[in-house]
Amino acid sequence: MTVLPDRARPLLFAHRGCSSLAPENTMAAFRKARELGAPGLELDIHVCATGELVVAHDDNFLRTAPPGANAGGLDIEELPLREIRALDVGSFFDPAFSAERPPLLEEVLEEFCPDLYIDIELKSGKISGDSLPRLAAEKIRAFGNPVAAALTVSSFNPFCIAAFRRLSPHIPTAVIYGKSREVPWILRRGFGRHIAGCAYVKPGRELVGPASVSRIVVREKRPMIPWTIDDPAVAGEMLRQGCCGIISNRPQDMAALVKAAAVTGGGA
């Protein structure tokens, strides 16, 4: 399956929005990315206790909400939406963003898609019985084909991706991997792609090299989009090696590189 075939190459995803200039995974960060001309967004979603798909990276809000206002550090899946919506997730970055609240996936899709393409990362640690793949598939389906054609779905959890693929086989999917100790050792070099049956891969930048590109991109025909790359020189090298896009906290620094390398349509 080709990844976002109608979009210019190389693909550029603003990591959690323009998270270098605004608080991550907020509408402010997504708007800043759009303002700066980023063609794509990357974001993370969890299912909260009342069943909504909340955009946030961590399992809880201990890092991004002020102390004492984070519902005691409860995981997002334990919190109802009304409590989540009361959280200030902008002040940790700068007091000027104190009005920022955790958005819902549907709000992001409504405002930015399909003008921008979006990679939705499913945050899940479950092997089975997870509602997240089903809820994400249902939400995407409700928006219709124009939005669906502008989306990819990814996860560190290959079982979550396999479950999503069974429900939405037309959406390009990826497994994410890297050297972090938080990733099970057997999945740290991309073995999860064989479990997930995904269309492309998202390796940590330290795992991109001639050998991995030859094995995965050339032989397996799976496009590669590494994370997280904030140096244009490193990004340029990744693209020269055969990656079809990058994920960056600093899309503002990648605009010239992407414009110089862009080829509209086709490609992996």
Q: Calculate the alpha carbon distances from 77 to 51, 59, 83, 157, 184 in Å.
A: 8, 8, 12, 17, 22
Name all domains of the chain by residue range, CATH numbers in brackets.
Answer: 11-60+103-261 (3.20.20.190)
Looking at residue 268, its pLDDT comes to: 63
Tens of pLDDT, residue by residue over 31-85, are 999 999 999 999 999 999 999 999 999 999 999 998 777 666 789 999 999 999 9
Q: How far apart are CA 206 and CA 247, in angstroms?
A: 13
User: Would you say 92 and 127 are in contact if contact means Cβ atoms under 8 Å apart?
Assistant: no
The pTM of this model reads 0.96
CB 52 within 8 A of CB 65: no
In single-letter form, the type of residue at position 93 comes to F
pLDDT of residue 182: 83
Classify the phi-psi angles of 165: left when phi > 0, otherwise alpha if psi is within -120 to 50, otherwise beta.
Answer: alpha
Which residues are CB-neighbours of 182 under 8 A, at least 6 positions away? none
In whole angstroms, give the CA distance from residue 247 to residue 176.
Answer: 12
**Which residue is associated with the tokens 């073995």?**
191
What is residue 67's predicted lDDT score, i.e. its pLDDT? 78
What pLDDT is recorded for position 266? Answer: 38
With beta carbons less than 8 A apart as the criterion, state whether 237 and 192 touch: no
Contact indicator for 13, 247 with CB cutoff of 8 Å: yes
- pLDDT in the model for residue 191: 96
Measure the CA–CA gap between 51 and 47, rounded to whole angstroms.
6
Q: What is the pLDDT of residue 23?
A: 98
Find where tokens 């124009």 sit: 146
The pLDDT tens digits along the chain (268 residues) read 889 999 999 999 999 999 999 999 999 999 999 999 999 999 999 999 999 999 999 999 999 998 777 666 789 999 999 999 999 999 999 999 999 999 999 999 999 999 999 999 999 988 888 999 999 999 999 999 999 999 999 999 999 999 999 999 999 999 999 998 888 899 999 999 999 999 999 999 999 999 999 999 999 999 999 999 999 999 999 999 999 999 999 999 998 887 777 653 334 6
- pLDDT score of 16: 98
Q: In degrees rounded to 5, what are phi and psi of residue 143? A: -85, -15
